[in-house]
Amino acid sequence: MIYAVIPTLNPGAPFAPLLHELQRAGVRIVVTDGGSERAAIDTALQHSARIVSGHKGRGHQLARGADYSAAGDDDWFLFVHADSVLPENWQALLSRHIDVRPGKAAYFGFQLDDKGFWPRCVEFWVWLRSIALNMPYGDQGLFMRKDLYDAVGGYDREPLFEDVAIIKRIQGRRLVKLRGNIITDASKYRRDGYRKRTFSNLKLAIAYAKGASPTELAEKYR
């Protein structure tokens, strides 16, 4: 059984189609909410999702969702952001991974729902980081069996860079890239400006790598 764990805080338009796609495939949905307005909760309930509410912050929410999912050791987690659109063949990709690489974690490629030079630059940087450094981020999804999730200690209950921390514990031969791309909402890039947001994120990542507190960095991120 696959359990989709989705952290939410007033998610946007892609949320309902994502839930519909998962429900149609028979995936058990766990929406781990950090204080959304009622409309988002109603949307989740309409798609038979289990709602887990509590402290906001993706690390807190992802860890909480996994804890309350009722998944067993042989079940699988699909951690995915609420603004994601899964590739058309995502079911086939996950099924093949379960059959061929059951002891490994997997992630998707990254694509923004926007046209132009800067979106392609961001996508290239994500591709380079994923391939050269073996370091995908949370907006690329993460697919892994529960026993592996438990073995690496799960998600840290931190407000930022929880995805980097867990990937570092998975890295190496236990992490593979799937062929499909997750399409991500680019509204935050359009709002802040591609250049400004890209270099701001890079500075935060460098600070985190040097040992800065995720809590302090989250304040700067906001």
- Indicate the DSSP class of residue 185: -
pTM of the model: 0.94
Spell out the per-residue pLDDT of the chain, length 222, in tens: 999 999 999 998 999 999 999 999 999 999 999 999 999 999 999 999 999 999 899 999 999 999 999 999 999 999 999 999 999 999 999 999 999 999 999 999 999 999 999 999 999 999 999 988 899 999 999 999 999 999 999 999 988 899 999 999 998 779 999 999 999 999 999 999 999 998 888 888 888 888 888 877 677 666
Are 26 and 78 within 8 A, CB to CB?
Answer: no
Strand blocks (E) in the chain: 2-8, 28-33, 50-53, 76-79, 84-85, 105-112, 142-145, 175-184
| Single-letter amino acid code for the residue at 97 | H
Among the listed residues 111, 208, 86, 99, the one whose alpha carbon sits nearest the alpha carbon of residue 156: 208
Question: Is 2 strand, coil or helix?
Answer: strand
Domains, the chain, with CATH or none: 2-187 (3.90.550.10)
Q: Which two tokens stand for residue 126?
A: 């994500």
Q: How far apart, in Å, are the Cα atoms of 195 and each of 128, 167, 182, 186?
A: 17, 26, 22, 13
Q: Which two tokens stand for residue 127?
A: 């591709």
* 168 contact partners, CB below 8 Å, separation of at least 6: 135
